[in-house]
């Protein structure tokens, strides 16, 4: 009767909303991008403004190998994502481990680079503006790599104990999104520090 309103246009259609995990990760990425933007702006602003000390041209070697490792890890993680969607858990584990390995290689490479800069070239964070902006920007990125690696390691351990399955592919994709972000940031950092700034 008239007391109950007729539902307009028939029943409510399929009600699909984006997954909250994915939205949450996008939000985190947007926020982190803002932080990185500020550090990049500082780096770019201070190019050429150091009053003393080693310049980028003098001490920076372009880390081609490191970059290849890190960017390849985006490919391997993508392969891992596809594997778990097909429920190929062994394949997933292998590609996941490859991603972690490549990430670790990148970190070792960064460590070697920094060792050279500090002990052979005398460049520290307090040496000059280049040192300040270099170590903070690259260091901020490296910190994000470490966080990503830690998360991936935990997932890998759970994979070994058999707790990661097809039902978790959504979560794997959300974590992979973070890793892709870290790689995208490296593209920007690499360009700004090793190409534009040198």
Closest CA to 81 of 153, 149, 144, 175: 175
Residue placing its CB nearer to another protein in the complex, 74 or 173: 173
What one-character-per-residue DSSP string does the chain give? -TTSPPPTTSS--------HHHHHHHHHHHHHHHHHHHHHHHHHHTTT--SSS--HHHHPPP-HHHHHHHHHHHHHHHHHHHHHHTT-HHHHHHHHHHHHHHHHHHHHHHHHHHHIIIIIS---TTT-HHHHHHHHHHHHHHHHHHHHHHHHHHHHHHHHTT---GGGHHHHHHHHHHHHHHHHHHHHHHIIIIII--
CB of 108 to another protein, least distance (A): 23
Residue placing its CB nearer to another protein in the complex, 64 or 125: 125
Residue placing its CB nearer to another protein in the complex, 5 or 162: 5
By CB under 8 A, is residue 3 in contact with another protein?
yes
CB of 120 to another protein, least distance (A): 20
Residue placing its CB nearer to another protein in the complex, 18 or 162: 18
Touching another protein, residues 24-83 (CB under 8 A): 24, 27-28, 30-32, 34-35, 37-39, 42, 45-46, 49-51
Spell out, one character per residue from 131 to 150, where the chain touches another protein: x when CB under 8 A holds, - when not.
xxx--x--------------
Residue placing its CB nearer to another protein in the complex, 27 or 160: 27
Q: How many chain residues bind another protein (CB under 8 A)?
A: 39
Q: Which residues bind another protein (CB under 8 A)?
A: 2-8, 12, 15, 17-20, 23-24, 27-28, 30-32, 34-35, 37-39, 42, 45-46, 49-51, 125-126, 128-129, 131-133, 136
């Amino acid at each position: 009767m008239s007391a109950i309103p007729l539902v307009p246009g028939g029943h409510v259609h399929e009600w699909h909303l984006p997954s909250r995990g994915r939205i949450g990760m996008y939000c985190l990425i947007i926020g982190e991008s803002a932080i990185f933007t500020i550090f990049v702006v500082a780096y770019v602003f201070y190019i050429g403004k150091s009053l003393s000390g080693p310049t980028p041209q003098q001490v920076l070697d372009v880390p081609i190998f490191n970059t290849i490792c890190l960017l390849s890890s985006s490919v391997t993680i993508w392969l891992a994502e596809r594997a778990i969607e097909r429920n190929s858990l062994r394949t997933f584990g292998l590609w996941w481990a490859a991603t972690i390995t490549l990430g670790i290689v990148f970190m070792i490479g960064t460590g070697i680079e920094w060792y050279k800069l500090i002990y052979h070239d005398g460049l520290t964070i307090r040496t000059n503006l280049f040192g300040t902006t270099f170590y903070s920007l690259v260091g901020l990125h490296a910190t994000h790599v470490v966080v990503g690696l830690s998360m991936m390691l935990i997932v890998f351990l759970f994979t070994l104990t058999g707790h990661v399955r097809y039902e978790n592919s959504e979560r794997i994709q959300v974590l992979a999104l973070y890793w892709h972000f870290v790689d995208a940031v490296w593209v920007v950092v690499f360009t700004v520090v090793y190409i534009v700034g040198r």
